[in-house]
Structure formats: structure tokens, C-alpha cells
Structure 1
Amino acid sequence: MWWIYALLSAVFAALTAIFAKVGIKGVDSDLATALRTVVILVLAWGIVFFKGSARHLTELTKTNWAFLILSGCATGLSWIFYFKALQIGRVSWVAPVDKLSVAIAIVLAVVFLGEPLTLKTALGAGFIILGTLVLIA
């Protein structure tokens, strides 16, 4: 089931690039990112309240809070740089470079989370890097 969510994530990420490229034409990329963030904020909290998940807020630990805040900061910076890159670059170049995050995440997961680096995973990350280089060269 996880792969269905991952595939949907990839589809919506692709749509994000296309919609954003059109939407940021003639607009400051930081303003566009802020507007997008408000939409996401409303959508995410709407889902939380609709599902009744808000009642679990009190169950979050200090560690949960700290790392979710760090994750939010990383996401925000990622979006700011992504929108700026989309504004001045081609989607067919920006999107593949952005997807290098997959290979970077694999390395970080091995180093910081102790996840195993199998030959298959290493080859996959290598192919992502190689594919990115082919697409942007």
C-alpha cells in the first residue's frame, strides 16, 4: 500500500512543478511560495480536523516537536529554493535536480539512521544521479 501513496506523491509533485512554473510567471518566487504554503496549511489542517487527528496533539513529545519543526524548516527552504529555480530555469532541468533528494536521502538514511546500504539501493541511487546528469547536460 505504501507504494500507492508514494506514486501519488510523485504524480502530485510533478503537477506541482507544472502548476508552479505557470503560476510564478511575473511573480516574486518567495511570495508565490508563501501563498502556496497558506494553501497547504489550510488543506493539511482541514484533513487533520476532518479525520479527528487534532486530539493527538497533546501526545507529541519534545523530540517529535523538535524534529517536526526541523522538517518544516527544511521543507520551507526546499520550496523557496525550488520556486526560485523554477522561475529562472526549465522544469525539465529543475525537477530532475530536485529529485536528487532521493539519492541524498538514501545517503543520509545510511549515515544518520543506520539503514542498510544494499547493492540494489546503491545502484538505484547511482542511476538517479546518472540520470539527472544526463537530463541536465
Structure 2
Amino acid sequence: MSWITDALLAAVCGGLVAIFGKIGVQGVDSITATMVRSLIMAATLVVVALFNGKMSFAGISGRTLLFIVLAGLSGAASWVFYFRALQSGPVSRIAPIDRLSVVVAIVLSIVLLGERPSAVALAGAALVVAGTLVLVFAP
């Protein structure tokens, strides 16, 4: 599979997370919902890793492990806030705001990684922001 196919499948699955999450979080504490979701994800990933023979931690450096842990902590925080938002707000507005993570990632890739996106890519990021504003504040 190509990265484009993987990205499109990720987008579809991400959209399903928003819908299933909104339905599932009603009447449940958002942290409990996030914990259950995380446990299901962890169990699923262990099965996938075992099935694909990828359950090896050999060769993971301390630095790599540190950044994997930081990514996990960032993801957990994102899910806690996302599920809390779903408890009280509309998916049609929460999902676009959540996807501003694309713009945050681009900005951080410039500041922290020294990446230099093209002018067209930066214009695309600006359009993401503009589109989000339209989706969130449309009557």
C-alpha cells in the first residue's frame, strides 16, 4: 500500500473515531472513555505486532524511546481533551478544530526540526486554518 492509501484510510478511521466517540462518551466520564479506548487500541496493536512479527524492542535507543514516550503522552493528552470536548460539543465543529493538529505539526516541524515547507504547502496550511474557521463559525 502507498502512503496516500494509508493516509486516506487513517482519515476515514479518524472520522469514525469522532462519530463513535461522540455516541460512546454520552453518560460516561471522558477520562474513563479515553482509558477504555486506549486499552482497546493497546490490545489491538499487540495482536497486530505479534501477527506481523514486530514485537521486538531490541535496538531501540534511549533517545528513541524518550520520543516515543513523549509522543504517547501527547497523544493521551490529545485524546483526553478530544473526548471531553465531544461530551459537550458538536462533532461537526470539534473534528475540524482537532484537525488543526496538521497546522500545529507544520509549525513545529519548522521550529523544532528545521523543515522548510514550500510556499504552496504553507498556503495549504493557511487554507486549512481558513476552512476550519468556516466550518466552526458557519451559521
Q: TM-score interval w.r.t. the shorter chain?
A: over 0.9
Q: Which structure 1 residue ranges, 4+ long, deviate > 6 Å from structure 2?
A: none
Identify the residue that residue 27 of structure 1 maps to in structure 2. Answer: 28
CA displacement 1:76-130 (0-9 Å, x = unmatched): 0000000000111000000000000001101111111111121111101000000
Identify the residue that residue 117 of structure 2 maps to in structure 1. Answer: 117
2: CA distance, partners of 1:109 / 1:4? 23
Identify the residue that residue 58 of structure 2 maps to in structure 1. Answer: 58
Superposition map of 1:74-93 within 5 A: 74-93=74-93
- What amino acid sits opposite 1:45 in the alignment? V
1: CA distance, partners of 2:7 / 2:110? 20
Q: Percent identity?
A: 41
1:70 Cα deviation after fit: 0.2
2: CA distance, partners of 1:87 / 1:7? 27
Identify the residue that residue 69 of structure 2 maps to in structure 1. Answer: 69
Gaps of 5+ in 2: none
* Bigger proportion of residues as helix: 1
Identify the residue that residue 41 of structure 1 maps to in structure 2. Answer: 42
Would you say how many aligned residue pairs link Structure 1 and Structure 2? Answer: 136
Identify the residue that residue 14 of structure 1 maps to in structure 2. Answer: 15
2: CA distance, partners of 1:75 / 1:135? 24
TM-score (normalised: structure 1)? 0.97
2: CA distance, partners of 1:104 / 1:41? 26
TM-score (normalised: structure 2)? 0.96
Q: Indicate the SS of the match to 1:53.
A: coil
Gaps of 5+ in 1: none
1: CA distance, partners of 2:117 / 2:47? 38
Identify the residue that residue 134 of structure 1 maps to in structure 2. Answer: 134
